[in-house]
Each structure stands twice: as C-alpha cells, then as structure tokens.
Structure 1
C-alpha cells in the first residue's frame, strides 16, 4: 500500500495543493470578524494578535469561538482538498481499492504538506505585511483532518492547562508538541510527510510564541478566562 501512495505522490504535482493551502491560510478571519461584527481592529486591542485567544479575551466568547472555528477550517480545508484531489487523480487500480487506499494516499502524500502551507499562510499573511497569527487553530484544523484522535488530544491538553492555570499560550504549545508526536506515530507506516508536518508546524508555532515564552518565564504572561462573557 505504501508503494501505491508514493507512486501517486510522484505522479501528482505538489505545488497546486501547497499554493491553495497557503492562500486559504492567509485569510485573516480574526481581523474580519472583529471589524465586521464588533467594530474593532483586533490588532489594536489586547495582545494585538489576530487569533482566537485574543478575540476571546478582548471581544468575548462568541467572537473567540467564531475565529477559532474559521481559522481551524482553513487547515482542515487545505488537508481535505489535497487529499481528495490526489485520490481522484490516482490510477484506476488505486481508486478501486477504495477507502483504505484513500487513507494511505492522504497520509503518505501531499495532504500534510498542504496543511503546513495553510499554517504558514496564517502566520505570515501577505495581506497584513506578513504579520499574521500564531497558527494554533489552523494547526488544530489540519490535525483533525489528518487524524481526529490527534485533534481530540490537543483539546484535552489545552483544557488541562488553561482551566487550572489560565495560560492559553502554554496549553497551545504543549498541545502542539503532543499532537506532533501522535501524528508521527500513528501515521509513521505510510510515509514521512506526517513527521515533516509535525516537526515544521511545531517549530513555527513555538517560534511565533517566543514572546509568550519570555513572559511565562518572567511571570507576566496574560491569563485567559473561559467564563461566559
């Protein structure tokens, strides 16, 4: 089955999926939601980040949930689009194998890389002078699309940190690392791209949280409350 997945990877061009993922990732939903529905530029309030945590902290629960879901959708859309397209351009003998072959093709070829492209687009969107978010929600959406177990694991880790401590940044970083390990282990038999996705996405997200790491060390990091607003 690995050979089938790898043969499709060679036959199908990679760049269209990467471009699609990056372009989808660049949509600044935090900025759009803040301006259209709340009359605020989210970059001018709170931490100045366009992500879900800052939306929740400054605009309220509805805004936070909306931005979280929309940003996660970007990562999921990139993965699913690449996976389905690769399946349909696969040779007929691969398509006849059915769902199992589809799973093999998804995990062994370009879908993880398309998810990574969406994360990079979110973090470095050209529409905002390459100043985007931190990539956590988009990473979560891509992880769910690749392996729902990894997405659930992220949420559990995040809640386990945020509920008692209130540090969304710490929960996000730990959740990202846990998901990376889970993806790498669960998809290890079907190709290296799951490890590439996990390692590269974790590195990008940790880098985007470097200021948060400094504040955590100094004890000045902002806390996030999940109480209704």
Structure 2
C-alpha cells in the first residue's frame, strides 16, 4: 500500500470512528430525548452531565475517549505508527463534525485525550491531570479542557519530538478553537460552572 493510500485510509478510519455520537445514542437509549435540545446543544459528556445523569456523562466521556484511542491503535497496526497521528486528527474532526448529525458534534476534548492515550500515554497523563486539577479548582469544565490543550503540545515535544508534537499540537489548536465562545466568556467572567448553563 502506498504512503498516500495509507494516509488517506488512516484519516478516513479516524473520521468514521470519531463520528460515532455516543452522547446522543446513550441519552436517547436512556429515554432522555435529543441531547442537542438542551444546554449547549453539544453531544459531549459536559452537556450530557446537564441532564443530571452522572453515569451517562461518565459513559459518554469514556466512550468518546475510547473511539479516539481505538482509531489510533487500528491505524498503527494496519498502516504503521507513522500514520497513527492522521487517524488521531481524523477522530477528533469526526467527533466535532459527524456527517450524520449535519456536521454538528461535540468540542472534541474526550476524543482528543483518547487519541493521546494511544499515541503517547505520558502526554495523556499530563494533559488529563491538568484538566482535572483546573476543572476541580475552578469548577469550570472549559477551563480544565483548555489547560489540557495548552500543556499537551509541550509534553508531546518533550516525549516524542516534532513527530509527536505535530498531530497532538494540531488537535490541541483545533479543540481550543472549538472553545472560542467559552474563551470569550472566561475573559468576561460569565462562563458557567460545571453542571450549569451552556
């Protein structure tokens, strides 16, 4: 298989797995209707938490992360580790823009962390720790997520150099850009606490 074909296949694999809308599927299965009709309208774990069902939110977080990790693991096995980063980027883009939901998905944090776990677990550990510490201290989910996006590229460069930093950095920038409205609210002090508002 040529490098170009492998690259395209890895990216498509990531897009396909990443686009599985677990938050929507789980909330519908639980009889809660369409998660897109409440809160921020996103399909991710933070919005699922707004239903008051912590178990569903935790399951969404786990499955959204797992689909990213699985995409990377399969790509590394099928096409080689060089192409795993493309699958990682594809998984996050697929989660954020699933074609079956009109390209309107989540913000990609859990899926990003899942891909980082598969690409380099130390990067995942550092980013996840930053997320948890900041989110707990501030009680603001987006603050924790953005902290993870900031530290991940530096950790990636430390543990794997430019080759690892490129896909992880691209994902971090992309996910941070998806939080543009959250950043604006953080700057004005109007960002809601965990479990409340948008």
Counterpart contact for 2:6–2:83, Cα < 8 Å = no
Counterpart contact for 2:39–2:47, Cα < 8 Å = yes
Task: Tell me how far apart the structure 1 counterparts of residues 45 and 19 of structure 2 sit (CA, whole Å).
Answer: 15
Bigger radius of gyration:
1
Q: What TM-score do you get using the length of structure 1 for normalisation?
A: 0.80
Task: Tell me how far apart the structure 2 counterparts of residues 11 and 201 of structure 1 sit (CA, whole Å).
Answer: 21
Give yes or no for the alignment of 1:163 onto 2:133. Answer: no
Counterpart contact for 2:65–2:113, Cα < 8 Å = yes
Show the 5 A alignment for 1:18-57: 18-57=11-50
Task: Tell me how far apart the structure 2 counterparts of residues 220 and 70 of structure 1 sit (CA, whole Å).
Answer: 30
Q: Secondary structure at the match of 1:40?
A: coil
Counterpart contact for 1:38–1:59, Cα < 8 Å = no
Show the 5 A alignment for 1:67-82: 67-82=60-75
Give the counterpart of 1:126 among 99, 105, 127. Answer: 99
Gaps of 5+ in 1: 1-7, 88-105
Task: Tell me how far apart the structure 2 counterparts of residues 183 and 38 of structure 1 sit (CA, whole Å).
Answer: 41
Give yes or no for the alignment of 1:212 onto 2:185. Answer: no
Give yes or no for the alignment of 1:179 onto 2:152. Answer: yes
Task: Tell me how far apart the structure 2 counterparts of residues 68 and 133 of structure 1 sit (CA, whole Å).
Answer: 11
Gaps of 5+ in 2: none
Change (3 A) 1:193 1:117: farther
Describe the superposition over 1:78-133 as per-residue Cα deviations: whole angstroms up to 9, x where unpaired: 1100111135xxxxxxxxxxxxxxxxxx2xx1101110100001111111111111
Counterpart contact for 2:95–2:105, Cα < 8 Å = yes
Q: What do you get for the CA RMSD once the two structures are aligned?
A: 1.8
Task: Tell me how far apart the structure 1 counterparts of residues 25 and 148 of structure 2 sit (CA, whole Å).
Answer: 26
Describe the superposition over 1:122-163 as per-residue Cα deviations: whole angstroms up to 9, x where unpaired: 111111111111010000000001111111112211121111
